[in-house]
Amino acid sequence: MGRLDGKVALITGAARGQGRSHALAMAREGADIVAFDICEQIDSVEYGLATENDLKETVAQVEALDRRILGRKVDSRDQAQLDAAVAAALTEFGQIDVVAINHGIWTRGALWDLPEQTWQDTVDTNLTAVWKTLKAVSPHLRERRGGSVIITSSVNGVEGQAGSAHYTAAKHGALGLMKAAAMEFAPYRVRVNAVMPGFVDTNMTNWQGSWDMTSGHAGGTREEHEQAARHWHAFGGLMRPEDISGAVVFLASDESSRITGIEMPVDSGHLVLSTFNPAPPPE
C-alpha cells in the first residue's frame, strides 16, 4: 500500500528537474499523475527550458512504474490553457486530489539593470501563474471538499538574493499567496502549504550566470560552482531534486491532514546559517 493510493496528483513544471522527481515519487506511492509543462522557451531566460521530449520522458518513466499519466503542454501563465488542461485531466481521471505547483524560472541582474520584460516574465511565471493554477483547480477542489496543494517557493521566499530582486519578490509573494489561499480553502478542507528548497542542482541552477554568482566572478566554472555550493548549506553540497520530493509526498499524503498554511524549508540547513558554512562536512 502506497501513501497516495487512489489519489491523482497534478504537477506543473513536470517535464524535468524537481517536477519530474515529484511525479515519480508520488507515482511510487500509488498516485496517478497529471503532468503540465510549458515545453517552450521564454525569451528572457538564458538557460534552456524543458522540451516536449522532456515531458515525454516523464510520461515514460511514470508509465514504467505502472501508473497512469496524462502529459500536457501547458503555459501556466495562460488561464484558458490551464482551465482546458484541468478539464481534460478531470475527464481522464475523474478527480484531482493533489496539486503541486512547481514551475519557475530564475534569471540574474541588478534590479536597476533588469529589463522590464525580464521582471515581468519572472513575476508572471513565479507568482501570477501560481495564482492562475489555484484558480483553475479551485472549483473541483472546493466541490470535492478536500485535497492538498503544495506550492514551491524557495529559501528566497524569506531571505533576499542580491542580483535576483525579481525572483526574490516573486517567491516572497508566493508565500503570501499560499497563506491567503490556506485560509480561503480551509472551509472546504483543502490544505495549502509551501516548500522552500535550498540550492537544488537542476538546469535552472546549472548555467553560466549561476556559476558566476557562486564563484564570485565572471567566467566561473562548474567545478567552482560545486565547490562554492558546499558552503551554502549546513550539510554542504548541492541538493538533488529527490531531496525535495520526500517533503512534497508528505504534504500530499494523509499524514499531513492537519497541516495547512506552513512554510517548510527543505534546504539542508541553509536558513540556520548566519552567512555561509565555513566548515562543510567532507563529501
pLDDT in tens, 106-133: 999 999 999 999 999 999 999 999 999 9
List 37's β-bridge partners, or say none. Answer: 73
Is the CA virtual torsion 199, 59, 94, 29 positive or negative? negative
Exposed (0-12), middle (13-18) or buried (19+): which is 196, by Cβ within 10 Å?
buried
pLDDT digits (tens, 9 = 90+) for 263-280: 999 999 999 987 666 567
Burial 41-57 (b: 16+ CB within 10 A, else e): ebebbebebbbeebbeb
Is it the case that residue 135 has pLDDT exceeding 60? yes
pTM above 0.75, yes or no: yes
User: Which pLDDT value is given to residue 278?
Assistant: 56
Is the CA virtual torsion 87, 93, 96, 101 positive or negative? negative
User: Which pLDDT value is given to residue 207?
Assistant: 94
| pLDDT mean over 241-248 | 98
Q: Which three cell numbers stand for residue 117?
A: 520584460
Q: Show which residues are catalytic.
A: 167
CA 199 to CA 190: how far, in whole Å? Answer: 29
Question: Which is more confidently placed, 237 or 108?
Answer: 108
Q: Which domains does the chain have, with CATH numbers?
A: 8-200+242-267 (3.40.50.720)
